[in-house]
Structures are given as structure tokens and as C-alpha cells.
């Protein structure tokens, strides 16, 4: 495999990709064939590592794009080093591809792979994707919030009977698009996908109180190394005013600067 040695296959927790949240990221989808070809050729030229998820996101392998054939509308990828995982990928009816290109996240899905060869080596062949998601770093970058001094989101969780309960949920991360919450499994029913929360309050250190509306976009169970269980809930900001978005961006920038300063021994 020359330049792309040790491309392994693995089983993992189901992947949560932006591509599967089309309602959130639809404005970043490319539909033009010429734009799609431009992005794929750039991935090829950069030799970017590509992660391929399949089996409903539970399995993945690492590969690289080795050819873009615009005339025949096809792509060629290196095979992985795990034969069993390669065979499973060939049997998959939907595969999600994700890579990065100059700090831009690129994702697309393909319906199937077939066996092929490229320059005398085994390869995967696939048809060109119909759409490609292209996300700038500022649009998807999520800052992991401090563990030692957690930030909390104060909100009202509602039961099936409509009754409300004031809760304070620790943040896992924050971005210009939303927050990740660490929710107690007992509150699982109150955090179903598409559930909306109004008047949520997050106290951002050095920035002030962020009042926002949130909607749940994804939720999945997580088990920590210590054996603790929680629900990781990804929420999107709804109609966040520009001034409040600026608060979030300032907070992220401030924390990043502090972390970099500590790492360099300046703080």
C-alpha cells in the first residue's frame, strides 16, 4: 500500500456525523457535480486520510482516495489492511466517508463499494457521490469545556405528562452551532431527538449569562472508562442572535488561548 501503510479496520460506538444531520447542515451541502469533483480532486492531491464508516456507523476503516475518474463518474480508494473489515465494507449498503482538507471537514455517503485494482494493487471502486458536505472549521469546531470547573446549562426538562423539572446539566462541549450535554440516564425521556428547550441559561466565565433556545439533534449512551453511564446529548442553538453568538465565539477563543499558553509554559 506504499504511502498508506497500516490502514486498519475497527469496530466502535456508532459514529455521529454531521452528514446525518442534514436538517442542521443542509446549507453546507454541495450539489453541483463540478464543485464535488473540485473538492474530491483536492482530497486526492493532498493525500488526506479518509475514514469510512459502515454497519450503521459501528465499524470503520481508514483509507485514502487514489483516483478520481470524472469521465466514468467513479472513485478509487485504497483497501484497508484488515481483510475481514474490507469484506464487510464491500457488503455494506451504505458507507459514510469523512476527511479534512485544509481545516475543512468533508463528508459524503456512498451506496456501495466494489472490488477493483489500481496500479497493480487492490482497491475499492465507487460511484461519485451525489452530494458532499463541506464544513469550515469555524462552523463545526467544538471546544471541550473544562472538566475541573464544569459549565452548566440550566433548563426545564419536561416529563410525558407535561410537568416541568428545573435541571442543571453539565456541558461536554460548545460551538457556534450548539452544545453537547452530559445528561443523567434517568432524564433520557426528556431529551429525545427534536425536543425543544426554551430559555436555557449558560453562565460563560468572563462573558456573562448566555440565554438561548435549544433543540436536541442527537443522543446516545456513553460509558466512561470508570464504568459510569450517561447520555451524550447534542443540541443545536435555535435562532441565536448575533450578539450571543459573539459571546460564544469570544469564550471559545479565550479558553483556547489559555490552554495554548499553559502548554507552552507561559501561564
Higher pLDDT, 256 or 169: 169
Backbone φ and ψ of 86, nearest 5°: -60, -45
**Domain residue ranges in the chain:** 2-139, 141-263
Average pLDDT over residues 55-72: 91
- Identical fold, 2-139 and 141-263: no
Class of 141-263 in CATH: mainly beta
Q: How confident is the model at residue 266 (pLDDT cuts 50, 70, 90)?
A: low
pLDDT at residue 179, rounded to an integer: 94
pLDDT at residue 20, rounded to an integer: 67
Q: How high is the mean pLDDT of the chain?
A: 86
pLDDT at residue 23, rounded to an integer: 57
The CATH topology of domain 2-139 is Pnp Oxidase; Chain A (2.30.110)
pLDDT digits (tens, 9 = 90+) for 146-195: 888 899 999 999 887 778 899 999 999 998 889 999 999 999 999 998 89
Query: HEC states along 154-222?
Result: EEEEECCCCCEEEEEEEEEEECCCEEEEEECHHHHHHHCCCCEEEEEEEEECCCEEEEEEEEEEEEEEE
- Tell whether pTM > 0.95: no
- H-assigned helices in 26-183: 33-46, 83-91, 137-140
Query: In angstroms, what CA-CA distances link 74 with 14, 16, 63?
Result: 27, 26, 16
Amino acid at each position: 500500500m506504499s504511502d498508506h501503510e497500516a490502514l486498519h479496520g475497527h469496530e466502535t460506538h456508532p459514529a455521529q456525523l454531521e452528514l446525518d444531520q442534514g436538517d442542521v447542515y443542509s446549507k453546507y451541502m454541495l450539489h453541483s457535480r463540478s464543485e464535488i469533483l473540485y473538492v474530491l480532486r483536492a482530497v486526492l492531491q493532498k493525500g488526506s486520510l479518509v475514514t469510512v464508516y459502515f454497519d450503521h456507523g459501528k465499524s470503520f476503516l481508514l483509507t485514502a482516495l487514489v483516483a478520481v475518474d470524472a469521465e466514468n463518474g467513479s472513485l478509487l480508494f485504497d483497501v484497508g489492511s484488515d481483510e475481514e473489515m474490507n469484506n464487510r465494507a464491500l457488503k455494506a449498503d451504505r458507507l459514510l466517508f469523512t476527511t479534512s482538507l485544509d481545516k475543512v471537514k468533508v463528508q459524503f455517503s456512498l451506496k456501495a463499494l466494489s472490488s477493483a485494482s489500481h496500479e497493480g494493487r487492490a482497491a475499492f471502486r465507487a460511484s461519485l457521490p451525489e452530494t458532499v458536505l463541506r464544513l469550515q472549521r469555524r462552523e463545526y469546531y467544538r471546544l471541550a469545556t473544562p472538566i475541573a470547573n464544569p459549565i452548566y446549562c440550566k433548563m426545564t426538562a419536561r416529563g410525558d405528562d407535561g410537568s416541568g423539572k428545573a435541571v442543571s446539566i453539565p456541558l461536554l462541549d460548545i460551538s457556534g452551532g450548539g452544545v453537547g450535554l452530559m445528561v443523567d440516564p434517568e432524564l433520557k425521556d426528556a431529551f429525545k431527538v427534536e425536543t425543544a428547550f426554551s430559555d436555557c441559561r449558560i453562565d460563560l466565565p468572563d462573558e456573562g449569562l448566555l440565554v438561548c433556545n435549544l433543540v436536541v439533534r442527537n443522543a446516545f449512551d456513553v460509558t466512561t472508562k470508570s464504568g459510569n453511564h450517561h447520555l451524550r446529548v447534542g443540541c443545536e442553538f435555535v435562532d441565536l442572535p448575533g450578539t450571543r453568538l459573539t459571546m460564544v465565539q469570544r469564550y471559545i477563543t479565550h479558553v483556547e488561548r489559555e490552554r495554548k499558553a499553559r502548554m507552552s509554559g507561559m501561564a
